[in-house]
Amino acid sequence: MLRLLLQLVVLVGLAIGAYFAWQWFDGTSVENGESEGPQRGGGQAVPVDVVAAWQGTIQESVAAVGTTVARESVDVVAEVAGRISRIGFEEGETVAEGDVLFELDSVREESELREAVANLEDARVKYERARALREDGSVPQAQVDELNAMRQGAEARVAVARSRVRDRRLLAPFDGRTGLREVSLGAFVEPGTVLTTLDDLAVVRVDFSVPERFLGALRIGQDVTARNVGFRDHAFEGQVTRIGTRVDPITRTVPVQSEFDNSDGDLRPGMFMTVHLVLRQQDDAVLVPEQALLTQARNIYVYVVEDDKVKRVDVVIGQRRRGEVQIADGLAAGDTVVVTGQQRLRDGAEVRVRQELGRDDLVED
């Protein structure tokens, strides 16, 4: 029992000693060999470093991932069976609308067309002769009508024969760049066989999605920057051209299309892109360094220096970027805020400014 009492006395003594030691070190600060005075509740000024809040440009933006898509893109497909008799382009070549890409052997179809044209001429002659004879009553009207029907049928057969000949020639539907050939000269192809691809790459689209919370800020014409791992040092600049009319009920995102000039040909369909979309820009935003901010529960505040004293000011923050924060409410540009020594301050405390720092001293670009 006596031992227990002795242990309790020793513990109480240690606690009292620790308390007075804490009071001594908490109330005294030595810097450069001089006493700074009490840190809390004393009469001496607390040394601090300060910076003036500055104005800058803040962008509200959203990051996304997207995929490049050609403005126009088709697979060139054989519509009929036949043997390749001509290839009218080189792989990767730029072609114009209407240029012949492939021709299939068309000897039979052209012969059928000549036959259909000849039959049409014969039907026309017979119809015109019967119509002339009908005027003096030598030919009944029924015969004229029959010959007219034969003429019209011959015209239809000519149209069909010409269509079959056209089907043997595959033309470029628009200006673009051809892809790799999937067939060789002389190959026999079936209907539906993909022969090559054609892409309009003068302008390339990047399709991506944006969370629905940004929908109210989306506008046609907003600037878009896209990057690809294959072009690390190059940023592609484009604009929003189309915004989807529906929000995906599963992902809660809205599709967005942007277009990029691709006159240099660097972009190809199917590339993975990281997209940076600028939604809004504020050129007169009030900014402070991150280390000026303090938090207590849900409140965010700073200490502002006025007449060698500090005042606690609650603030509302906006956008963040490397090393600095936008103050949406609570401060004005030029207000002097404390950036070091805040933990030793309370509202109304006296301070001594050691250094007046600038943005370049605190923020790395």
Tell me the HSE value of 327 on the side-chain side, using a 13 A CA sphere.
26
Other CB atoms within 10 Å distance of the CB of residue 269: 16
* Phi, psi of 282, rounded to the nearest 5 degrees: -120, 120
CA distance 287 to 189: 67
Q: Of the candidates 306, 265, 226, 256, which has an alpha carbon nearest to the alpha carbon of residue 52?
A: 306
Tokens standing for 51? Answer: 């910076």
Domains and CATH numbers, the chain: 62-71+200-282 (2.40.30.170), 106-167 (1.10.287.470)
Return the pLDDT at 31: 36
Return the pLDDT at 47: 92
Largest CA distance in the chain: 153
Return the pLDDT at 344: 87
Chain centroid to CA 21: 61
Instruction: Classify residue 205 as exposed, middle or buried by CB count within 10 Å of its CB (0-12, 13-18, 19+).
Output: buried
DSSP 112-139: HHHHHHHHHHHHHHHHHHHHHHHTTTSS
pLDDT values of the chain reduced to their tens digit, one per residue, 365 residues: 556 555 655 565 666 655 555 444 444 433 333 334 444 444 588 999 999 999 988 888 889 999 999 989 999 999 899 999 999 999 989 999 999 999 999 888 889 899 999 999 989 988 888 888 777 777 788 888 888 899 999 999 999 999 988 889 999 999 999 999 999 999 999 999 999 999 999 999 999 999 998 888 899 999 999 999 988 888 999 999 999 999 999 999 999 999 999 988 899 999 999 999 988 888 889 999 999 999 988 899 999 999 889 999 999 998 888 888 999 999 999 999 999 988 888 888 999 999 898 888 787 66
Tokens standing for 111? Answer: 């012969």
8-state DSSP, 350: B
